[in-house]
């Protein structure tokens, strides 16, 4: 149990986060329930075995967060999801499933239907029982997403400094309390030539929004993405981004050349870096230990991109929990590149972008709908 996080979340919202667990496997359901009950800032309000029971009891139990299994008899998770959201619009639903291609596809589809996030379950009950990392990740997702749902919504940030009319309005507006201490760096005058993106919780939806708006960038520059996802999920994500962007997107392969017009996605379970071989920028996949509890981690991508492309790198930090990517963002800025971050109001969780923003590393802090246009202008050479 993370006592500091539990205390801060309880203080932030003034009450415990109400949790419903829905899973037809009695051992797994019992484990989830006990883990929730062990946290002082979480309250188990229901432990159910079917989607039918969840739909029937959601109004009475009034949970803030539902951990919803995908594969259940009768009404399965993907069928129950819209029924639950119809009964409680602000409900946070975390889809849970073992890692198969079918479940990965269903999980990503669930995000488009309103699920807040997903969590891949270990493949066996024994692995679920002994996995400290899985327990930590589940509780962290419940806590962070629950806090986000309960706390008052933050208004979108349209500007935090008068950098340039193309990216920010002037004069400086009144900011939400969470972002009043954010100071922006000036935008570099050099036109970027490569875009690197980090994302975690809420990332698939955010990536979908961004790649559909940056067609002209994709025509002339490579885009490299590290999204916190397990194997199989990243393959499905790449296929989906290829469909919505109309450009080549694939899981990165070790040693392949990095060419403009392509999007490279870090494969689940391996860190993605870049290096030069014979003067050509190539992908390097690293099977080292997790960094910031993440594999793939954003830090290796950002730091290696800064080393290879220096001031020609534009980094984009999208929604996500934790602080992964912060050190990599420091490397980009130190090399003369620039960072753009998603604002708090449009982030599912303002952890990763918030860390970068509060560290004073951003040249722009923008709502998700504005990011694509801003990135496009920067790659087109529009500078302050």
Q: Are 160 and 182 in contact (CB under 8 A)?
A: yes
Phi–psi pair at 13, nearest 5 degrees: -110, -10
β-bridge partners, 98: 121
∠ CA(291), CA(230), CA(348), 5° rounding? 80
Check: CB of residue 288 under 8 Å from CB of residue 263.
no
Say if residues 231 and 269 touch (Cβ distance below 8 Å): yes
Name the DSSP class of 319. Answer: S
Would you give the end-to-end CA distance of the chain in angstroms? 48
Residue 11 makes CB contacts below 8 A (sequence gap 6+) with none
C-alpha–C-alpha distance, residues 23 and 180, integer Å: 42
Note the helical H segments in the chain.
3-13, 26-37, 51-61, 77-87, 101-112, 125-130, 132-150, 203-211, 215-220, 233-245, 298-309, 326-334, 352-358, 368-379
Backbone angles phi, psi at 26, to 5 degrees: -60, -40
- CA 43 from centre of chain: 25
Angle between helices 132-150 and 3-13 (to 10 degrees): 10
Phi, psi of 303 (to 5 degrees): -65, -45
Give me the active site residues, please: 200, 228, 324
Phi, psi of 270, deg, nearest 5: -140, 140
């Amino acid at each position: 149990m993370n006592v500091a996080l539990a205390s801060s979340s309880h203080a932030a919202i003034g009450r415990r986060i109400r949790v419903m667990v829905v899973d037809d496997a009695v051992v797994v359901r019992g484990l989830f329930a006990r883990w929730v009950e062990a946290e002082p800032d979480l309250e188990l309000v229901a432990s159910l075995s079917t989607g039918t029971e969840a739909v029937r009891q959601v109004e009475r139990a009034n949970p803030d967060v539902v951990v919803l299994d995908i594969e259940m008899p009768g009404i399965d998770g993907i069928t129950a999801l819209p029924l639950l959201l119809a009964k409680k619009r602000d409900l946070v639903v975390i889809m849970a499933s073992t890692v198969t291609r079918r479940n990965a596809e269903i999980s990503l589809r669930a995000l488009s239907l309103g699920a807040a996030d997903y969590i891949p379950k270990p493949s066996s009950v024994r692995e679920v029982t002994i996995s400290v990392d899985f327990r930590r990740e589940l509780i962290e997702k419940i806590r962070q997403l629950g806090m986000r749902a309960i706390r008052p919504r933050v208004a979108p940030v349209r500007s935090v400094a008068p950098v340039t009319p193309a990216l920010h309005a002037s004069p400086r507006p009144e900011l939400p309390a969470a972002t009043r201490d954010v100071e922006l760096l000036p935008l570099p005058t050099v036109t970027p030539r490569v875009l690197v993106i980090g994302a975690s919780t809420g990332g698939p939806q955010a990536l979908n929004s961004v790649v559909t708006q940056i067609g002209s960038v994709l025509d002339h520059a490579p885009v490299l993405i590290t999204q916190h996802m397990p194997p199989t999920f990243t393959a499905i994500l790449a296929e989906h981004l290829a469909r919505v962007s109309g450009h080549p997107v694939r899981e990165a392969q070790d040693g392949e050349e990095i060419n403009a017009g392509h999007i490279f996605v870090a494969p689940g379970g391996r860190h993605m870096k870049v290096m030069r071989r014979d003067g050509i920028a190539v992908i390097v996949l690293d099977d080292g230990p997790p960094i910031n509890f993440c594999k793939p981690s954003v830090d290796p991508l950002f730091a290696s991109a800064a080393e290879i492309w220096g001031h020609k790198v534009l980094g984009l930090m999208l929604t996500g929990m934790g602080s992964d990517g912060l050190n990599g963002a420091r490397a980009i800025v130190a090399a003369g590149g620039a960072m753009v971050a998603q604002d708090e109001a449009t982030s599912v969780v303002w952890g990763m972008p918030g860390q970068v923003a509060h560290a004073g590393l951003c040249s722009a802090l923008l709502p998700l709908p504005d990011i694509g246009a801003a990135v496009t202008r920067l790659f087109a050479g529009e500078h302050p």
